[in-house]
Amino acid sequence: MELFVDRTGHHILANAGDEYAGRIHGVYARTITRLKESSMSLQTDDTGIIQVILERFEKQRLPRMIEIKQRLDQGEKLNEFELEYLSKAVHDARALLPFLERHPEYESLLSRVFHYYKIISDEALDNEEKN
C-alpha cells in the first residue's frame, strides 16, 4: 500500500488491494477538497477537529483497516489486539455522529467508513466460524 499526492493535491491510496477502501479514499479526497474550500465558513473549533480527525483517518485508521482486511481475505482470524483496534475504531466513529448534525457534508464519508467496518467485522466472524 502506498499513499501519494496527485497533481490536484489529493492524497491517493495506491495498491490498497481493496476496491471498497479505494472508494472510501475517493470520498475522503473529495471531503478534504471541500474542507479546504469551505474552512473559512466553518466554526473555528470544528475546523481544527475536522482536520485532526481526517488526518488520523488517512494516516492511521484506513491503512490499518486495509491491513486487517487483507489478512481476513487470506482466511486468517483476528488476534486480540486487532479486535480491540476494530472495537475502538467503531467506538470513535460513533462518537462523531452528533458532529454530523452540524456538518452533514461528512455523512457520506462516515457512512462508507461504517460500512467498511461492517464488512471487516462480518468477514472476521466468518473466519472465526470456519476455524
The pLDDT, as a whole number, for residue 107 is 87
Half-sphere exposure for 11 (CA within 13 Å, toward CB): 18
- Report the distance separating Cα 61 and Cα 65, nearest Å: 6
Position 32 pLDDT exceeds 60: no
Tens digits of per-residue pLDDT, 103-122? 888 888 888 888 999 999 99
Residue 55 is part of which domain span? 2-130
Please measure the distance between the N-terminal and C-terminal CA atoms of the chain and give it in whole angstroms. 28
CB 103, CB 53: distance < 8 Å? no
Domains of the chain: total: 1
Nearest Cα to 95, choosing from 62, 35, 49, 39?
49
The cell 482470524 sits on which residue? 77
Position 63 pLDDT exceeds 50: yes
